[in-house]
Amino acid sequence: MTRSMMKSKFCDLLRKKNGNFAMIAALTLPVMFMAGSLAVDTTNVLSMKTRLQNAVDSAALATATRLLQEENLTPVQAKAFAEKFLDGQIEEDMSVFAGMSVKPTGNYPPPNS
């Protein structure tokens, strides 16, 4: 098939109205479904990231507050408190975060001796 023949057949196809809607719908519907599912997945990932960030931020603030209030709190106790607090924050979302573990890390200043 030559290029001009293909072009004329394509032009004929565009001019004809019989069945074009079904063909175009059949071609574009899967693309639309893929775009919609990608949008839903992206929204879920961003929502999960936001929930995790909020949980980590609240655990950090609670641990910092406790470090300020209790003078005899050791870094090991502070880390244990942060882990327990964080576990409590993400407990209701554990079905979403299945297979994930979060452990707080940090550099604590040496205790004043």
Write the secondary structure of 24-68 as one string of H (helix), E (strand) and C (coil): HHHHHHHHHHHHHHHHHHHHHHHHHHHHHHHHHHHHHHHHHHHHH
Question: How does pLDDT run across 55-108, given as a tens digit for each residue?
Answer: 999 999 999 999 999 988 888 898 899 989 998 888 877 777 676 666 666 666
Contact 79, 106 (CB under 8 A): yes
Contact 58, 27 (CB under 8 A): no
- Predicted local distance difference test score (pLDDT) of residue 37: 96
